[in-house]
Amino acid sequence: MADDIRRIYSILKYCDDIEETINRFGEDEEDFTDDNAYQYTCSFCVAQIGEAIKSLSPELRERYPEVRWKGFSGMRDIITHGYERINLRIVWLTITEDIPELKRICKNILNELNPS
């Protein structure tokens, strides 16, 4: 359980990093597609989130089926092993739609696992 809590905190940190990156570079998809540094920063964070998710216990992942755990870990694999195959539109939708939802759910998970 302690390992899961530590990994959830890690996921939240990378969600925050993505949010800060969006605030810094711009909230427009065109800003994202036109700037390699923006793309690389967010892709790295998404990959790190996927890596942390892969290390979560099966019990935790089963307890929260509303999270698309496999989607995030699959995205990590694409970013890590085949960057040329990345669809920037999918990354954009991930960072602007899926990451905020993941962040919200992870905060709820922490409140349930570590209520103090």
Percent pLDDT > 70 in the chain is: 97
Q: State the catalytic residue, choosing from 24, 68, 81, 104.
A: 81
pLDDT tens-digit series, residues 6-20: 999 999 999 999 999
**pLDDT score of 79 more than 90:** no
Specify whether 81 is catalytic: yes
Q: DSSP letter for 66, please.
A: T
* Residue-level pLDDT at 83: 61
Cα distance between residue 115 and residue 112, in whole Å: 6
**pLDDT score of 84 more than 90:** no
Cα distance between residue 104 and residue 81, in whole Å: 28
The single-letter code of the amino acid at 72 is: F
What is the sign of the dihedral through the CA atoms of 80, 5, 56 and 18?
Answer: negative
Q: Please, is 50 exposed, middle or buried when counting C-beta atoms within 10 Å of its C-beta (0-12, 13-18, 19+)?
A: buried
Specify whether 68 is catalytic: no
Residues 6+ apart with CB under 8 A from 50: 72, 73, 74, 75, 76, 77, 79
Q: What tokens appear for 99 in the block?
A: 């990451």
pLDDT tens-digit series, residues 29-50: 999 999 999 999 999 999 999 9
Q: State the catalytic residue, choosing from 63, 68, 76, 85.
A: 76
Q: What is the pTM of this model?
A: 0.91
Residues 6+ apart with CB under 8 A from 54: 73, 76
Of 65-69, 73-77, 88-92, 99-103, give the lowest mean pLDDT range: 73-77
